[in-house]
Amino acid sequence: MKRTARTALAFALSLALSGALAADKPAEAKKPVTMADILAASTPSDWRPLDPQNTMYLELASGRVVIELSPGYAPEHVANIRTLVRQGYYDGLAIVRSQDNYVVQWADPNDDDSEAKDGKPKAKSLGAAKAQLVSEYTVPISDATPFTRLPDADGYAPQVGFAQGMPAGRDPKNNQTWLAHCYGALGVARGNDPLSGNGSSLYVIIGHAPRQLDRNINVAGRVVQGMEKLSILPRGTGPLGFYEKPEQYVPITSIRLAADVPEAERSKLEVLRTDTPTWDALVASRRNRKDDWYQVPAGYVELCNVPIPVRPIEPPKPAADK
């Protein structure tokens, strides 16, 4: 759908919502449409379920963190992560870093120790996963990287917007696109070697968006539920927020793909689509906040400040008895 047509539909949706509010509450006829109003008026087609093959469950003692992977933007890294998950590589590893206003990172605590005292390897084997991958800091623009542009200017990319529920940047001139380091982004940790990130260590952004990392490291997805289980972890006392003692580590019970978890045990969630008039209306409502509390609408919204709503999938209602 062309942008102009979608914008017109979004405007029409806002008008319809305003009309509905006016009909119900004549005294509030001039009350602006809020994000809550837009979501309440959304239809089932405005939402999409998570793909079980591209959804990970990070299980901690405190509960489950649900992560959506993005194979369109990091195909090789997502494939390697899936291989590691299905081998049980992450099971029994730990969160080893919690840096204030930056990241939480998990890894094999022994990945720097090549041998144990008995001469056997101490670090966990990668098994069938690849130890080295070509970087995917950016990928070519294609059908696998759909993009809904955010009209507002951005200091880190020629264009910014949303790709299947992921904040993204794009450079049409060079035919390249990438995922952005917004709150909740899942990144593939690496050292100074650009090819050292293979998915054996992953991190999640828990602070102000460090967009300077864009195009310098692979982003493979984002957390869609359970961020509070990561953001509240005790901060590491070592350099860069690493935990200094093994007793500080936060153990990982397991990481599983939703597709490998029994249906009854899955987190049934759906995400608001980012390619509909409803999405356009939501973005417009965040650009000009006119809720009762706001006195001065900004007239602008930054990429990482646009929320991407997630909600439980409602079970089907039982058929009425005839």
Phi, psi of 230 (to 5 degrees): -100, -40
Tell me the three state secondary structure of residue 133: coil
Q: Are 158 and 230 in contact (CB under 8 A)?
A: no
Say which residue, 122 or 266, is predicted with more confidence. Answer: 266
Tokens of 136: 């995917």
Task: Name the strand (E) or helix (H) holding 47.
Answer: strand 47-49
Burial class of 146 by CB neighbour count within 10 A (0 to 12, 13 to 18, 19+): middle
Strand partners, 160: 150, 169
- pLDDT tens-digit profile of 182-201? 999 999 999 999 888 999 99
Q: Which two tokens stand for residue 244?
A: 């200094």
End-to-end CA distance of the chain: 42
Q: What is the rounded CA–CA span in Å between residue 242 and residue 250?
A: 12
What percent of the residues of the chain are helix, what percent strand, and what percent coil, each to the nearest 5? 25, 25, 50
- pLDDT at 64 > cutoff 90: yes
Q: In sequence order, which residues have a C-beta less than 8 Å from that of residue 314 and are 6 or more positions away?
A: none
Q: How far is CA 73 from the centre of its chain?
A: 12
Helix extents (H) in 35-112: 35-40, 75-86
CA 224/CA 202 separation, integer angstroms: 16
Provide the pLDDT for residue 292.
82
| Cα–Cα distance, 127 to 125 (Å, whole number) | 5
- Compute the Cα dihedral for 259, 262, 267, 270 and give only its sign: positive
- Average pLDDT (297-305) is 94
Does residue 252 contact residue 95 with C-beta atoms inside 8 Å?
Answer: yes
- Residue 167's pLDDT is 98
In tens, the pLDDT along 67-115 reads 999 999 999 999 999 999 999 999 999 999 999 999 999 999 998 754 5
Query: Which residues, other chains included, contact 25 with Cβ-Cβ below 8 Å and sequence gap of 6+?
Result: 31
Instruction: Specify the pLDDT at position 115.
Output: 53
Per DSSP, what are the bridge partners of residue 170? 159, 177
